[in-house]
């Protein structure tokens, strides 16, 4: 395998740091060509000195002097700002781009990477949630391949390799159920951000962990799967699998079901996304099935976790509705993390925003940008109203 140069957008986050673990594990296969972060300039500087990329970018420009000071004499190119991150995604030295940024902020850089013909290792699910139709059209236009990084979508991707897509009948998307799977509605009224950040299986960033607790994450993954695998929403079934060993399944028209299993460790799908179509060896101990004698599956409770149902509603409506839901959720999650609203208020913010924001059936990028701004404003006003009660 020829050495690939990797651009890591969001290198200081959970997926970004684990991507760098893989690059360090296989120095003959991969090198880090571009690293970007939003505000963690100290960690970005440490990563830059270790991996010696061609370019590092810090999103918040106020940290540029600190980053330059930390990297003085290194010879590494340094830039700052949102436009610089988008440009970094198309850097000429890069072969593949890992989009590990969180939230809506990953959309424009991913578009720039697609237009530059880079292979996309997609971790930023919001890109397809907000602009799935646009992104898939651009991938066809620029002949760009997306390899999913999320464990569930990686599992589906692996189950489909070598199969005819028209023989796929159903995608079975597994969910851990998060830390509140067995909680009553009354108990959910009193959970704290600290409670919600204690995921039983996965080590993830704060935003994704809260989304997992509310099952919004699974709703977004359903929308992402709809676009990644060119299927209808009614071909996607969500099942709760608390052990997180079966990462997802595909049912075929002959009744066969293929599943991908593995321990809950994001290094595995990241490694696969970077090395595809090859598989690289690992020093990780093999999974022993006798250690997982009881694998259980159950239906999600959409009354207790309504955000999952809102995701199905949003993709059914189409147009800008998934963008509206994503914007509202990002505002609600931040308000919850800051102690301004309760866990059970987050669906209320989403519902109000979906019912209030202007909807467009066939949006272009400018429309999506405007919709995102409007929905965020509506959601922020509503969270402020709740906080004052």
Q: What is the CATH number of the domain that holds 30?
A: 3.40.50.720
Total number of domains in the chain: 3
Beta bridge partners of 79: 57
Structure tokens at 376: 């965020």
**Residues 126, 139 share a domain:** yes
Domain termination site, one of 255, 289, 316: 316
Q: What is the pLDDT of residue 286?
A: 86
Please report, for residues 29, 95, 213, 260, 304, the alpha-carbon distance to residue 195 in angstroms, rounded to integers and kept in the order given: 40, 40, 9, 30, 17
**What is residue 102's predicted lDDT score, i.e. its pLDDT?**
83
pLDDT of residue 206: 86
244 and 295 fall within a common domain: yes
Same domain, yes or no: 225 and 104: no
Bridge partner list, 249:
172, 259
Look at residues 266, 291, 316 and tell me which one is the last residue of a structural domain: 316
Do residues 137 and 156 share a domain? no
Tell me if 217 sits within 8 A of 209, measured CB to CB: no
* Helix (H) and strand (E) counts in the chain: 16, 11
Same domain, 172 and 312: yes
pLDDT at site 1: 62
Per-residue pLDDT of the chain (389 residues; tens, 9 = 90+): 689 999 999 999 999 999 999 999 999 999 999 999 999 999 999 999 999 999 999 999 999 999 999 999 999 999 999 999 999 999 999 999 999 998 888 999 999 999 999 999 999 989 999 999 999 999 999 999 999 999 999 999 999 999 999 999 999 999 999 899 999 999 999 999 999 998 776 666 788 899 999 999 999 999 999 999 999 999 999 999 999 999 999 999 999 999 999 998 999 999 999 999 999 998 888 889 899 989 999 999 999 999 999 999 999 999 999 999 999 999 999 999 999 999 999 999 999 999 999 999 999 999 999 999 999 999 999 999 999 87
Are 100 and 25 members of one domain? Answer: yes
Range of the domain at 197: 150-316
**Same domain assignment for residues 269 and 325:** no
139 and 157 share a domain? no
Q: What is the pLDDT of residue 199?
A: 72
Nearest-CA neighbor of 325 among 367, 283, 256, 379? 379
Q: Are residues 301 and 356 in the same domain?
A: no
CA distance linking residue 219 with residue 175, whole number of Å: 10
Q: What is the CATH number of the domain that holds 332?
A: 1.10.1740.10
Are β-strands 168-175 and 246-252 bridged in parallel, bridged antiparallel, or unpaired? Answer: antiparallel
Q: Which residues contact 140 (CB under 8 A, 6 or more apart)?
A: none
Return the exposure string of 274-299: e unless at least 16 CB atoms fall within 10 Å of the residue's CB, then b. Answer: bbbeeeeeeeeeeeeeeeeeeeeeee
User: How open is the CA angle 382-336-222, to the nearest 5 degrees?
Assistant: 90
pTM greater than 0.85: yes
Shared domain check, 162 and 305: yes
Q: Which of 85, 114, 144 is the last residue of a domain?
A: 144
Phi and psi at 7, nearest 5°, equal -100, 125
Are residues 263 and 182 part of one domain?
yes
Classify burial at 331, counting beta carbons within 10 Å of its beta carbon; exposed 0-12, middle 13-18, buried 19 or more: buried
| Predicted local confidence at residue 202, as pLDDT | 62
The reply to whether 182 and 304 lie within a common domain is: yes
């Amino acid at each position: 395998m020829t050495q690939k140069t990797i651009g890591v957008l969001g290198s200081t986050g959970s997926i970004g740091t684990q991507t760098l673990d893989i690059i360090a594990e296989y120095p003959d296969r991969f090198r880090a060509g571009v690293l970007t972060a939003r505000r963690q300039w100290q960690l970005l500087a440490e990563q830059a000195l270790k991996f010696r990329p061609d370019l590092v970018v810090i999103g918040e420009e106020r940290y540029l002097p600190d980053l330059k000071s930390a990297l003085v004499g290194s010879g590494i190119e340094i830039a700052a700002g949102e436009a610089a991150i988008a440009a970094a995604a198309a850097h000429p030295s890069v072969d593949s781009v890992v989009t590990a940024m969180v939230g809506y902020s990953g959309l424009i850089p991913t578009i720039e990477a697609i237009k530059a013909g880079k292979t996309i290792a997609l971790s930023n699910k919001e890109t397809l949630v907000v602009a799935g139709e646009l992104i898939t059209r651009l991938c066809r236009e620029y002949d760009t391949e997306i390899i999913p990084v999320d464990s569930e979508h990686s599992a589906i991707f692996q189950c489909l390799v070598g199969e005819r897509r028209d023989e796929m009948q159903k995608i079975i998307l597994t969910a851990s159920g998060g830390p509140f799977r067995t909680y009553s509605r009354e108990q959910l009224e009193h959970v704290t951000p600290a409670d919600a950040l204690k995921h039983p299986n996965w080590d993830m960033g704060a935003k994704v962990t809260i989304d997992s607790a509310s099952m919004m994450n699974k709703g977004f993954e359903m929308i992402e799967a709809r676009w990644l695998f060119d299927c209808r929403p009614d071909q996607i079934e969500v099942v709760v699998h608390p052990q997180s060993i079966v990462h997802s399944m595909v049912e075929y028209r002959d009744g066969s079901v293929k599943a991908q299993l593995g321990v809950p460790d994001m290094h595995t799908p990241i490694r696969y996304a970077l090395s595809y179509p090859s598989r690289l060896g690992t020093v990780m101990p093999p999974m022993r099935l006798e250690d997982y004698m009881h694998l259980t599956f159950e239906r999600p409770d959409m009354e207790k976790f309504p955000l999952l149902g809102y995701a199905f509603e949003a993709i059914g409506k189409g147009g800008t509705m998934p963008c509206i839901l994503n914007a509202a959720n990002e505002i609600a999650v931040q308000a919850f993390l800051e102690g301004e609203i309760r866990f059970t208020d987050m669906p209320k913010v989403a519902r109000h925003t979906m019912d209030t924001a202007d909807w467009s059936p066939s949006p272009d990028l400018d429309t999506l940008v405007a919709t995102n701004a409007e929905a965020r404003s509506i959601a922020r006003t509503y969270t402020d109203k709740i906080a004052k009660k």
